[in-house]
Amino acid sequence: MKKVIAIFGTRPEAIKMAPVVTELRKSSLVNLRVCVTAQHRGILDQVLALFAISPDHDLDLMLPNQTLDQLTARLLTGVGQVLDQEQPDLVLVHGDTSTTLASSLAAFYRKLPVGHVEAGLRSGSLLAPWPEEMNRRVTTLATRFHFAPTERSRQNLLDEGVDAAHIHLTGNTVIDALIETVARLKAAPEIRAGFERQFGYLDRNLPLVLVTGHRRENFGAGFENICRAMLDIVTQNEVQLVYPVHPNPNVRGPVEHLLGSHPRIHLIDPLDYEPFVFLMERSYIIITDSGGVQEEAPSLGKPVLVMRDTTERPEAVDAGTVILVGTSQQRIVDEANRLLRDPTHYARMAQAMNPYGDGQAAKRIRAVIEEQA
């Protein structure tokens, strides 16, 4: 039996790794171990509970205001100790976080093969997103099994000289998680009714603008521009806005200062995944700098404005369901106003489509691990 250890540390990683963990636990050929670094503590625990994941190792590395080098050093030594203890046949990582970088490096130092879920995403700029673009490029160098979510990401890896035999086109596991969660909400009206009560302050007669924003490269002036744009959108249109605010003080500070007093702007704590999916379904448009939301929202038929200048997820941009607006206050406002006021433009962007997968990505990853790892 092959021993596989899955390592992740943030909420988005946990959401996207949960289907893989669930699938590998069904396998009679795999002994799965789970290590969480808790790079994000509270918002990670929410996802672990939702998908019934009990980690075998919890490094609990989250500290307030720690720098990237401090975090990465602690990750590298902490994960290294776990790998020395477990002696796995395969180290499974996801995406582009500091946990991903440190875990793949720790595996490389021990000559252990790495499986990289969501491999091959590229923005073309090491500074956008920062530090994620560097994290995933370094992880690629240490990886033996590249689980590419789209044909574009597969081609990126081929262009960098990765052996085609080591690349496996799987689809994105976030669609697996989304489809499962939407089905659970539909099958359990009592859960949906609970969320209706939780968000009872929302006006059914007003379009909902759902906002998420937390990227490091937007800290400072970028976030101030974003907040002023949100205020303009609500002031200029009869809409309501919900913003689950990331706990990082670089986010929470400007958001609460600039947006905290408007009656139609609701600043709330970060949400569990299920109520967030509920709000995505309920929303009219979504404005975000999140990678995962770019992938999920088009599947729900929701137009997305992405507050970044580049994206490593161009498929939805090409399909017309996502527009890059950067952090320009005026550009964000103009594009939001266009969606809110031009029904034809909205209808074009709201065509539900799913360029990122069919909900079977985790099964494909399991098959590769069983056959080749």
Kindly give the confidence (pLDDT) of every residue in the chain, 373 residues in length, as a single tens digit, with 9 standing for 90 and above. Answer: 999 999 999 989 999 999 999 999 999 999 999 999 987 777 788 899 999 999 999 999 988 888 999 999 999 999 999 999 999 999 999 999 999 999 999 999 999 999 999 999 999 999 888 999 999 999 999 999 999 999 999 999 999 999 999 999 999 999 999 999 999 999 999 999 999 999 999 999 999 999 998 877 778 888 899 999 999 999 999 999 999 998 888 888 999 999 999 999 999 998 989 999 999 999 999 999 988 899 999 889 999 999 998 889 999 999 899 999 999 999 999 999 999 999 999 999 998 677 899 999 999 999 999 999 8
Residue ranges, comma separated, of all CATH 3.40.50.2000 domains in the chain are 2-172+358-372, 189-349
Is 197 a residue of the active site? no
Among 99, 142, 137, residue whose Cα is nearest residue 121: 137
Cα 1 to Cα 258, 288, 371, distances in angstroms? 55, 42, 12
Q: Which of 74, 154, 214, 313 is catalytic?
A: 214
Question: What residues contact residue 271 under an 8 Å CB cut-off, 6+ apart?
Answer: 46, 244, 279
Residue 246 to residue 7: CA distance in whole angstroms: 22
Q: Which of 23, 86, 96, 296 is catalytic?
A: 96
Q: Which of 118, 274, 295, 335 is catalytic?
A: 118
Domain 2-172+358-372 belongs in CATH node 3.40.50.2000: yes
Neighbours of 371 (CB within 10 A): 8
Is 262 a residue of the active site? no
Q: Which residues lie across from 116 on neighbouring strands?
A: 93, 146
Is 214 a residue of the active site? yes
Is 315 a residue of the active site? no
Residue 182 to residue 334: CA distance in whole angstroms: 31
Tokens encoding 96: 């582009």
Where would I find the beta strands (DSSP E) of the chain? 2-8, 30-36, 57-58, 90-94, 114-117, 145-148, 167-169, 208-212, 240-244, 265-268, 285-288, 304-306, 322-324
Is 96 a residue of the active site? yes
Q: Which of 137, 144, 192, 216 is catalytic?
A: 216
pTM of structure: 0.91
Which architecture does CATH list for 189-349? 3-Layer(aba) Sandwich (3.40)
Residue 35 to residue 331: CA distance in whole angstroms: 42
